[in-house]
Structure 1
Amino acid sequence: MPTSNPVRARPWPSWPRHDAAEAEALRRVVESGEWNGVDAPAVLAFERAYAEFLGAEHVVTCTNGTVSLEIAMAALGIGSGDEVIVPPYTFLATASAVLKVNALPVFADIDPDTYCIDPDAVEAAIGPNTTAVIAVHFAGHPADLDRLRDICSRHGLALIEDSAHAHGASWKGQAVGTFGEFGSWSFQGSKNLTGGEGGALSTGDARLAATARELRNCGRRPGFGWYDHFSLGGNWRLTAFQAAVLSAGLARLPEQIARREACAELLDRELAELPGIVPLARDPRTTAHAHHLYAFRYRAEEFGGPPLPEFCQALQEHGIPATPGYPRPLPRQPLFAERNFDVAATGWRPEHVPTRYAELDLPVCERACAETVWLPHNLLLAEPEEMWDVVTAVALVRKAKRTA
C-alpha cells in the first residue's frame, strides 16, 4: 500500500536541461540554411569544442553511441574471425556492436567494487584471436586504465573506451576517452551530455580519425567527388541541429559535474552508515566521476528488508526514483543465450566457440544484477542537502520493515 506521507513530494531536477542557449543555437542553424553535412559549421564547432574539453586531438561525430563503437572497430580492421573482450554488466550495444562487424564478443567478469571490467578477467580471456578490449566506464567511473593499457600493450590489442556514461570523467587528471585507440561517446537523451541522439569518437591517431570520418560519411574522402566511395561506410552523420544543442549543453557540463560529485559524496558517506547498503567504491586514481548513475548495493538479508524490486518500489513511494540495475548479465539475453554463433553469423565455425553464452560463469556480475539499485543522474543536480531525502527514505524503509 502506498505510503501516505512520502519523504519527497516535490519533483527532482528535470532532464534534459535547457535554456535560451539551445533556442538561440537552433535559431542560428535554421537561419544559416546549413542543416546537415560533415562540414556544417555547427558540427565542426562542436567537434572542436568537445575535443578541447577532452584534451583529445580528434573528435568525429556520428549518429549514436552504438554506431560509434561499430565505426571504431571497422576503422581498426576488426571483423570476421576476431574476438573482442567486453564486460557483461553493460547495455546491449557494447556487445552487439561486435557482432555487427562480424566479430565475436567474449565476456570477462567485472570488478566487484566498481562494476567496470576486471583486468584479471580480461587477461584470462585473451586467446589467439583476440584483437581488442572494450572497457565500459560504468556509471561514469573510469575502468582501471593503467592495467588495461598495460595488458593491451603487452598483448598487441586495441583498447576502445565505451564512455557513454562518462562525459567529464577523468583518470589521474586525464579525460577518459583519450587513453585507448578510440573513446566512444553517446549523446542519447538520457546521457549527461545530450542532443536527443548522437554519438562521437575521440582519438589521438590522425589516421584512425580520417578512417572514422570516411566510414561515417558513406565511404567518402576529402578532396574527392560526391560520388566517389572508398569504403563500406554508411550515412552516420550528426545533424547541425544536434550539434548546436550539444554545444549549448557542453557549456554547462562542468558545473553539472561538480554538482553531481558533491551530491554523490554525501550519499556515499551517509548511505554507507546504513546496514545492508553498500555504495560502489571509488578508485583513488579517479579524479572526476561523471555519475551517469548513482549505484549502490542493496543486501536484503543485512538490511532486514524486502527483495530488491519491492525495496525500489518502496523508495519510489517516498519520491525517490530508484530502480533495480541490469536484471541479468548481458550474455543471458536471448540474443546470446539462445544461439551459438557460427559461419552464418560471424564467419566463425562452431568449434571455435569455447562455450555457449548461457553457460558462462560470471559470479560477480550475477551478484551485481541481484543487488544493485540505480538512481538517475538528474537527481544529483539537486542541492547537496537534498540528498538527505534519499538517506531518510532508505532509513524509513528499513524501519518500516523491521517494525512490521
Structure 2
Amino acid sequence: MENNNLPRRKFLSNIAITGAGFVLGLPQIANASDNGKPALLGGPKAHPGGYSGWPLFDSTEEKAVMDVLKSGTWGRLGGNVVSNFEKAYSEMLGVKHTLGVSSGTSALTTILGAMDLGPGDEAIIPVYTFIATYNVIVLNYALPILVDTDIESFQIDAGKVEAAITPQTKLIMPVHIGGTPADLDKLMAIAQKTRIPLIEDACQAHLAEWKGKKVGSYGLAGAFSFQASKNLNCAEGGAITTNDSDFAQTCYRFHNQGQGGHTTAYTPGTGTRATNLRLTEFQGNLLLAQMTRLQAQAKRRAENAAYLSAQLKEIKGIYPAKMYEGTTLSAFHLYMFRYDRQHFDGLSRETFLKALQAEGVPCSEGYGQMNRDTYVTGLAQNKHYLKIYGEKTMREWLERNQCPQNDKLTGEQAVWFFQNMLLGSHTDMDQIAAAIRKIKKNAKALAKL
C-alpha cells in the first residue's frame, strides 16, 4: 500500500540513499536557484518537489486494524491490545507504567484529576504552548499561571518559574515544545526544593531525551499525544507515563469512571470524581504498528535537523532554537527558528513566510500570544471564576500573566517547519536553506510587494 503522498518504497529508498550520504560524508549540491529570482517574484521554486505525506503506513497498519476488527473485541475492557501497547511503550521509554487514554488532552485531564486539582489551586504552565495545556487547568476551575518564554529556546523560562510560585501552587507543568526538552535540571531542582509535583507535558516529545533518559520519566507523570499530526499517531489518542505505582492506579481509576485499578485484579472504585477516557483496541494496535518505525524516523529527523541547522546558522538573521545542554535527543515534532528582519533589509516576517511558501517550503509563524488572547483573558470575567476568586484576584491574575519575551517571539520572530519535512533527504534540507538565502538576497524587492 502507498501513502497518500509518497510511495513507501520511494520513501525508504530516499532514506537509504541520503543515509549513506550522511555516513560517508558525500558532498551535497545546493540548489542552483538560490541565486536566482524568488518564486514570489516569478522565479523557479527552490524546492520544486513535495515532502513526505503523513502518516506513513503500509500493510502493517492494515493488518493491525483488521486483526482487531475480526477479533470482535474493540474496546480495552475485555481486550489485551491496549495492555500490550502500554507494556511496549513503557519498555521503549524506560518507565514503570503507561496508561493509554483517548487523547493528549485526556492524558493531562486524567493526571490533574488524579491529583485532585480544583478551585483555589494554581498551576504553572508556559505561555508558549498549545491551548490544551491551558484548557485542562481551567476545566478544573484552577488558575493557570503563565510563565514567560526563553526566547532562544522557545521553552518555558525556568529562571522565572520559582518567582511564580505561591502557597496555592499545586503543580509545575512545563511543556517540551516542538519535541525538545525544557530545562529539566532547573525545573526538577525547583520541584524538589518546593515539594511541588512536576508534570511533563510531553505531548510533542516522543522519544526525546534529557541526559540519555526519555522525557516523561522525570516528573510525577508525563503526558503524550497520539493525535494525527504527532510523530507517533493513531488519529486521536494519548498516554500517561509514571514511575509511581500508586499514582498509576489512581490515574487508571479516574479514566475508567472511578472503577478498577491498573492491575489484573479488580479493585473497588475510589475517589469522588472520574470519567471515561479509555483508549480503544483499534488505536492500541495502530500505535503498535506505528512504533515499528518510530525509532528510525526519530533518528532521521535528528540527522536532518542537525544538517539543516548547520546551514541556517551561517545565515545572519536566522537562529535555530537553542537546545539546552542536557538535551541528548530532540523529537523534532517542530523545527523552530527565529527570524530577524533587520538582517533581511526590514522584510516583514509575514512576507518572509509567504516567500518561503512560494519556494515550496511549508512554514508557519507558530503559536500566538496566549496571555493576550480574548479566549484566555475572558477568564477574568467568567462568572464561576468571579464567584470562586473574586474580581480583585482575577484582575491581579491578568497582571501576573505579562510575558514580554513571548510577545517579542510570537509577534515578529518565530517560524516553524513540520516534522514530516525532516523525513526527506539532505537535498531537501539544502533546498530549504537555498530558499532562505534567495529570499535574503532579494529582500528589498520582496519588501515592495
TM-score, length-scaled by structure 1 = 0.95
Q: 1:342·1:349 contact (CA, 8 Å) conserved in 2?
A: no
* Distance in 2 between residues matched to 1:23 and 1:361, nearest whole Å: 49
Mapping of 1:173-322 within 5 angstroms? Answer: 173-222=212-261, 231-322=272-363
Rate the CA distance shift 1:365–1:38 in 2: closer, same or farther, 3 A.
Answer: farther
The offset of 1:310, in angstroms, is 1.3
Match of 1:381 in 2: 423
Match of 2:376 in 1: 336
Report the more deviating stretch, 311-320 or 72-81. 72-81
Match of 1:69 in 2: 108
3-state DSSP of counterpart to 2:198: strand
3-state DSSP of counterpart to 1:105: strand
Answer yes or no: is 1:115 the counterpart of 2:157.
no
3-state DSSP of counterpart to 2:303: helix
Partner amino acid, structure 2, of 1:333? D
Rate the CA distance shift 1:347–1:70 in 2: closer, same or farther, 3 A.
Answer: farther
Report the more deviating stretch, 358-367 or 287-296. 358-367
Q: 1:137·1:143 contact (CA, 8 Å) conserved in 2?
A: yes
The offset of 1:342, in angstroms, is 6.4
Cα deviation 1:170-198 (Å, max 9, x = unaligned): 00010000000110111001111000000
Match of 2:435 in 1: 393
Cα deviation 1:179-237 (Å, max 9, x = unaligned): 001101110011110000001100000111001111111111145599x6754211111
Q: 1:277·1:303 contact (CA, 8 Å) conserved in 2?
A: no
Partner amino acid, structure 2, of 1:286? T
Cα deviation 1:334-370 (Å, max 9, x = unaligned): 1221341667138333333462537732111111102
Cα deviation 1:21-57 (Å, max 9, x = unaligned): 1011111111111110245221111111111110010
Partner amino acid, structure 2, of 1:60? L
Partner amino acid, structure 2, of 1:255? A
Rate the CA distance shift 1:189–1:332 in 2: closer, same or farther, 3 A.
Answer: same
Partner amino acid, structure 2, of 1:344? H
Rate the CA distance shift 1:2–1:186 in 2: closer, same or farther, 3 A.
Answer: farther
Cα deviation 1:252-293 (Å, max 9, x = unaligned): 111011100111101111111112111111222111100000
Q: 1:215·1:231 contact (CA, 8 Å) conserved in 2?
A: no
**Unpaired runs of 5+ in structure 2?**
1-39
Partner amino acid, structure 2, of 1:289? S
Aligned match for 1:85, one of 124, 139, 142:
124
Aligned match for 2:190, one of 133, 147, 151:
151
Q: Indicate the structure (1 or 2) with the bigger Cα radius of gyration.
A: 2
Match of 2:31 in 1: none
Partner amino acid, structure 2, of 1:36? G
3-state DSSP of counterpart to 1:200: strand
* Distance in 2 between residues matched to 1:80 and 1:47, nearest whole Å: 32
Q: 1:111·1:364 contact (CA, 8 Å) conserved in 2?
A: yes
Match of 1:165 in 2: 204
Q: 1:82·1:103 contact (CA, 8 Å) conserved in 2?
A: yes
Q: 1:163·1:176 contact (CA, 8 Å) conserved in 2?
A: yes
Q: 1:184·1:200 contact (CA, 8 Å) conserved in 2?
A: yes
3-state DSSP of counterpart to 1:233: coil
* Distance in 2 between residues matched to 1:359 and 1:104, nearest whole Å: 11
Partner amino acid, structure 1, of 2:421? L
Q: 2:85·2:287 contact (CA, 8 Å) conserved in 1?
A: yes
Report the more deviating stretch, 331-340 or 315-324. 331-340
3-state DSSP of counterpart to 2:172: strand
* Distance in 1 between residues matched to 2:89 and 2:59, nearest whole Å: 21
The offset of 1:14, in angstroms, is 0.8
Aligned residue-pair number: 402
3-state DSSP of counterpart to 2:295: helix
Partner amino acid, structure 2, of 1:386? D
Point out 4+ residue stretches in structure 1 off by more than 4 angstroms. 222-226
CA RMSD of aligned residues (A): 1.9
Answer yes or no: is 1:21 the counterpart of 2:60.
yes
Partner amino acid, structure 1, of 2:384? A
* Distance in 2 between residues matched to 1:269 and 1:277, nearest whole Å: 11
